[in-house]
Amino acid sequence: MSWQQILKKKPKSVRSKALERAKKKGLKGLNQAQRLNDDSGKSHHVMAFENNKAKYIKFGQKGVRTNQTAGQRKAFKSRHAKNIKRGKMSAAYWANKEKWSPSKTKEKKNQKWRKGS
């Protein structure tokens, strides 16, 4: 390939580069969290994309029983509220969305906190 052809070639967008990185990591797409199977100690991963910036994030402790009671969920949200507010580029946001959503709570009326949250 000559240098003229290289100069004519369109540069890839930030989004397409991020999508390529996500595919290499085994993800389906951008901003789509998935379970993680490796020895990192984390349970999920995602390629976060916001404001033309991409970031690979691993989140959630592997092997821990989360979101068992409403009280446990409330404790997590109050403890990590500051980081959840940071948005898609923080691990706390994705943990809150994937692991701590109210629909995934096992005992919705139980306000007791359980060890392990």
pLDDT of 6 reads 72
Strands 42-50 and 53-61: antiparallel
Residue 54: φ, ψ to 5°: -120, 145
pLDDT of 17 reads 94
Contacts 24+ apart (CB under 8 A), 24-28: 25/56
Provide the residue type at 2 as one letter. Answer: S
pLDDT of 116 reads 58
pLDDT of 66 reads 85
Question: By three-state DSSP, how is residue 47 classified?
Answer: strand
pLDDT of 87 reads 95
**Tokens matching residue 19:** 């999508």
pLDDT of 115 reads 63
Give the pLDDT means over successive 10-residue stretches in the chain (117 positions).
74 91 95 93 95 96 87 91 96 94 81 64
